Amino acid sequence: MPTDTEMITTSDSRRASVLRCLCLLLAAAVVFQLFYLGSQQFAPGLVPAPWDKLAHLTVYSAITALLWIGTGGSMPVLVIVAVIAIGALDELHQAGVPGRHAAIDDLLVDICAGVGTGIAMFLHARVRRRHL
């Protein structure tokens, strides 16, 4: 018969696994919508400048955080590289969509979002470990 501590640990572990899976699914959904909605006729000019940069920052920060949590923080470099690759692929995709164009400044914002959020997640985890 498992002890109370073992049951709590198992329950916490199960919850963490569910949270990680949910975050990976949400990240995949955000990326899918990014490409799907980005290719729709209403997409060009949907978010006017300069607010489009804030939209890039928000979306790519969210993708980074979701992937970070989804991987349990165990693959920080891979998460950041994946987010940068998604940003690059998104810009390439936009180059082929009528009414849209690829922009290096959008990619730079995506990179900053991925790296900045990755650093913030790393520092948060480090501080949290120190206080446990």
Q: Which pLDDT belongs to residue 88? A: 98
Mean of all residue pLDDT scores within the chain: 91
Reported pTM: 0.89
| Per-residue model confidence as pLDDT tens digits over 85-122 | 999 999 999 999 988 899 999 999 999 999 999 999 99
Between CA 35 and CA 86 the distance in angstroms is 10
| Per-residue model confidence as pLDDT tens digits over 23-38 | 999 999 999 999 999 8
Between CA 52 and CA 11 the distance in angstroms is 42
Q: Is the pLDDT of residue 4 over 50?
A: no
Tokens linked to 78? 């891979």
**Cis preceding linkage at 2, omega within 30:** no
Tokens linked to 88? 């690059």
